[in-house]
Amino acid sequence: MIYAYGITVQGTYHIKNDIVCQDAHNIVKKDKDIVIAAVADGLGSEKYSDIASKIAAKRATTFCAEKITKSSSEEDILKTIKAAFTASQDEIEKTAAENGHSVDEYDSTLSLSVLMGEYLYYGHVGDSGIIVLTSDGLYKQVTEQQRDEDNRLYPLFFRDRWIFKKFEEKVCSVFLATDGIFEIMFPYLIKDEEVNIHIALARFLMDNHGLRIEKRGEDAVKADVEDFIKNIPDAQVNDDKTLVVLINASVESKIQPDEYYKEPDWEGLKKKRDEEYKRQAYPHLFKDKPEEKKADDKSDKDVAGPADGTDTTSPDDKSEAKKENKSDAKTPDASNPQPETKKEKGHFGWWRGDKKK
């Protein structure tokens, strides 16, 4: 049987600035083995995006629930999800027209999951996202955030950006979230590590070994997680926060070694990242020490020279040595190249962590 819980919490920034919550989610239980869920995030810069996100989440899930059955083929399910995205955007445009508004004020992201038994089918556009816990006990990122080179996201309106796929591995849990929560699952300090998902946090939110949702009940699990979400410090997330978790309690996930679940060494990772940043920002402070100068390829005896101190270097050798020294003075050390300006700017932009839509 598949259990589910969903939470949407207005962000503290929105509360302080009297801005409505622009996130939305919806869950439809078709039967005990088919559950459909979606999360949507209205663009903060648009006046009616909160209406758009509600329409997107509800219309897409109800559309799929009406069409998908246990006998639906993989191809039929993916076609239905695509049709659900079309129906959602069409309804958003119709609502805007009926209200006499520009559709440009009604943009939203949309991430949708159809969990059918052990298998996940999904549709995605924008910067929300999906993570799964596989039957092998591994947490895996399913979707990528869609943004252009200027960090502007692609909303539902961009039909050419829609993605529809089946996740090929068996799953026992599915996590959907808008960007406020999705991004804290991928802390920048572990961005380049082999495992870049915050496993301890993912386990708390979506692993049924700890949640025991079939025994405790969906409401009890939701209450605990909602309390946690509401108490996330503003320094981490002040945006609206939405997450949905689907758990197939009939599928047992393997337990990984303890090392997999350990909290990362945040202090050590921060020092490592700071060091890398300084090397990029101030490369002249980290130049390799020059190697000890060696006199051509002469033996120790030749290097030492005669006991009386006579210079035995031939005029031709001296001339060649001067050429080599002159050339070395102009050629950068290939083992420690200077960063290109473009790359350096990109690095600084990344370090600031600009995430604005």
Q: What is the DSSP string of 12-60?
A: HHHHHTT----EEEEEEEEETTEEEEEEEEB-TTSTTHHHHHHHHHHHH
The radius of gyration of the chain from alpha carbons, rounded to an integer in Å, stands at 29
Among residues 47, 44, 86, 45, which one has the least CA distance to residue 64?
A: 86
pTM over 0.85: no
Q: For the domain with range 2-262, which CATH number is right: 3.40.50.10860, 3.60.40.10, 3.40.640.10, 3.90.1580.10?
A: 3.60.40.10
> Is pLDDT at 208 greater than 80 in this prediction?
yes
Domain with CATH 3.60.40.10 in the chain: 2-262
Q: For residue 276, what pLDDT is reported?
A: 84
- pLDDT 10s digits, 158-184: 999 999 999 999 999 999 999 999 999
pLDDT in tens, 235-289: 999 999 999 999 999 998 999 999 999 998 889 989 988 888 888 888 887 766 4
pLDDT of 299 higher than 80: no
Question: What gap in Å lies between CA 225 and CA 241, rounded to an integer?
Answer: 12
* Nearest-5° Cα angle at 225, 220 to 227: 95
* Confidence (pLDDT) at 279: 85
- pLDDT for 86-136, tens place per residue? 999 999 999 999 999 999 999 999 999 999 999 999 999 999 999 999 999
What is the mean pLDDT of the segment spanning 66-87?
97
What is the reported pLDDT for 272?
86
Band (pLDDT 50/70/90 cuts) for residue 216 is: very high
